[in-house]
């Protein structure tokens, strides 16, 4: 078989790219060493959330959420899609001012949201601790179950002719990839879409792993209605170094609750760490005290792939011929997967992109073009 695009990685990004490229009639092969949707995809909370820290992030997340809504409109059940919305919590007047700014920005881009005073906040979520100032409700945000979504996207890609091979890519060659078993695969283009593991193939990438912990509880239906996120989460998500925790609580359609989040830079050991886990849970119970009495079923970790400027790398490697990138999404890989795939596919087939592509091009990083020709 002649391969137009060989994709390294069958997480949510690789699966979405395979689906988008196969839909354009390209011959696609996906190489994955583990199960589909494993790695960071399986470790993700599955939130589909509009983020507005900068215009490029807002453009990418809002575009992708529109694509997710189109996908869910066909049949939401297989993805466990739930349009629960996000409730950003303001603990004090300073954070309430942030919520107001966020409302202005999102509203200016046509994204429905509702500023809440304390009374309205507790009407929506009575389990929150007393004394909070208010919040912002973003109505169209949603959640999915990431491993299932990745598997569904990859299955649709296969129905369009894509092939999937179980194996580990050891190195990129000038004409494809070298597998760990010594075999070689030839392809016109190689797309590296395996998150933080992309550093093993391309150590020059401006990406650092960020380890995170997640806890899932037993079933407590109706306890929480929205995804709850503290406005202080933004500081944690974009910290430049060190360990941090932030409050992020998500109701699953099963009635279970997912509790996050933690961030540890450059930690690649996936073992659960009791100290950071305890810190995360104490912080979560400071927002929802009833969490202290719930049964936790399991906890696990994953590695986010964080780029140095907070935006993903989507497009051609500027100095490695026929190597393409879809990585560096950090904690927004689930949210932005569908848009990333469309932007990637449009570039490969030579079509215009739906949103300006420049902020996400790998060529924005000068170091990618300095030593590798």
- Judge whether 269 lies within some domain: yes
* Residue where a domain terminates, one of 307, 336, 354: 307
Tokens for 322, please give them: 């026929």
Mean pLDDT of 139-147: 96
pLDDT value, residue 282: 96
- Judge whether 50 lies within some domain: no
Residues 298 and 236 in one domain: yes
Q: Rounded to an integer, what distance in angstroms lies between the CA atom of residue 314 and that of residue 327?
A: 7
Indicate if the pLDDT at residue 153 is higher than 60.
yes
Mean pLDDT of 221-227: 96
- The fraction of the chain above a pLDDT of 90, given in percent, is 91
pLDDT value, residue 240: 58
pLDDT value, residue 195: 95
Tokens for 131, please give them: 């004394």
Nearest to 354 by CA among 29, 135, 63: 63
* Residue where a domain terminates, one of 279, 307, 335: 307
- pTM recorded for the entire structure: 0.94
pLDDT value, residue 145: 95
Mean pLDDT of 223-228: 97
Please write the tens of the pLDDT for every residue from 19-53: 999 999 999 999 999 999 888 999 999 999 999 99
Helix (H, G, I), strand (E, B) or coil at 343: helix
Q: What is the mean pLDDT of the chain?
A: 94
- Judge whether 283 lies within some domain: yes
Mean pLDDT of 330-348: 97
Please write the tens of the pLDDT for every residue from 277-303: 999 999 999 999 999 999 999 999 999
Mean pLDDT of 82-94: 96
Least confident residue range of 232-246, 306-320, 341-355: 232-246
- Domain CATH number, residue 316: 3.50.50.60
pLDDT value, residue 1: 67
pLDDT value, residue 372: 40
Please write the tens of the pLDDT for every residue from 234-249: 554 445 567 899 999 9
Residues 212 and 252 in one domain: yes
Q: Rounded to an integer, what distance in angstroms lies between the CA atom of residue 210 and that of residue 208?
A: 6
Residues 196 and 345 in one domain: yes
Indicate if the pLDDT at residue 233 is higher than 70.
no
Q: Domain limits at 26?
A: 5-44+146-206+309-369
Residues whose CB is less than 8 angstroms from the CB of residue 177 and which lie 6 or more positions away in sequence, other chains included = 6, 8, 31, 169, 170, 171, 184, 185, 187, 190
Mean pLDDT of 262-284: 94
Residues 218 and 279 in one domain: yes
Please write the tens of the pLDDT for every residue from 54-82: 999 999 999 999 999 999 998 899 999 99
pLDDT confidence bin for 369, thresholds 50/70/90? confident
Q: Rounded to an integer, what distance in angstroms lies between the CA atom of residue 125 and that of residue 115?
A: 14
Mean pLDDT of 115-126: 98
- Judge whether 72 lies within some domain: no
- The fraction of the chain above a pLDDT of 70, given in percent, is 96
Distance between terminal CA atoms of the chain? 28
- Judge whether 330 lies within some domain: yes
pLDDT confidence bin for 371, thresholds 50/70/90? very low
- Domain CATH number, residue 130: 3.30.9.10
pLDDT value, residue 46: 94
* Residue where a domain terminates, one of 307, 331, 359: 307
Residues 225 and 265 in one domain: yes
- Judge whether 195 lies within some domain: yes
Q: How many structural domains is the chain composed of?
A: 2
Indicate if the pLDDT at residue 10 is higher than 60.
yes
Indicate if the pLDDT at residue 370 is higher than 60.
no
Strand-strand pairing, 113-117 and 134-138: antiparallel
């Amino acid at each position: 078989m002649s391969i137009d695009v060989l994709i390294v990685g069958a997480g949510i990004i690789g699966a979405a790219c395979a689906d988008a490229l196969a839909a354009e009639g390209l011959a696609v092969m996906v190489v994955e060493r583990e199960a589909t949707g494993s790695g960071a995809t399986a470790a993700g909370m599955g939130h589909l959330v509009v983020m507005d820290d900068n215009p490029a992030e807002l453009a990418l997340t809002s575009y992708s959420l529109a694509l997710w809504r189109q996908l869910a409109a066909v049949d939401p059940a297989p993805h466990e899609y739930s349009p629960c919305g996000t409730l950003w919590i303001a603990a004090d007047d300073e954070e309430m001012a942030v919520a107001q700014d966020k409302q202005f920005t999102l509203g200016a881009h046509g994204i429905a949201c509702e500023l809440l005073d304390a009374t309205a906040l507790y009407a929506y979520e009575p389990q929150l601790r007393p004394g909070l100032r208010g919040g912002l409700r973003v109505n169209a945000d949603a959640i999915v179950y990431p491993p299932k979504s990745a598997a569904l996207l990859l299955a649709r890609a296969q129905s369009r002719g894509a092939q999937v091979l179980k194996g580990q890519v050891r190195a990129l060659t000038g004409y494809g990839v070298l597998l760990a078993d010594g075999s070689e695969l030839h392809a016109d283009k190689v797309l590296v879409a395996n998150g933080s593991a992309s550093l093993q193939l391309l150590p020059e990438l401006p990406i650092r792993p960020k380890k995170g912990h997640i806890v899932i509880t037993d079933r407590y239906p109706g306890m929480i209605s929205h995804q709850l996120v503290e406005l202080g989460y933004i500081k944690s998500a974009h910290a430049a170094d060190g360990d941090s925790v932030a409050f992020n609580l998500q109701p699953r359609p099963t009635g279970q609750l997912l509790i996050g989040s933690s961030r540890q830079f450059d930690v690649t050991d996936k073992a659960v760490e009791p100290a950071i886990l305890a810190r995360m849970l104490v912080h979560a119970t400071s927002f929802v005290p009833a969490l202290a009495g719930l049964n936790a079923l399991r906890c696990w970790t994953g590695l986010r792939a964080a780029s140095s400027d907070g935006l993903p790398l989507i497009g051609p490697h500027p100095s490695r011929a026929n190597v393409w990138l879809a990585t560096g999404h950090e904690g927004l890989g689930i949210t932005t997967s569908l848009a990333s795939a469309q932007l990637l596919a449009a570039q490969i087939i030579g079509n215009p992109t739906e949103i300006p592509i420049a902020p996400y091009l790998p060529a924005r990083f000068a170091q990618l073009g300095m030593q590798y020709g």
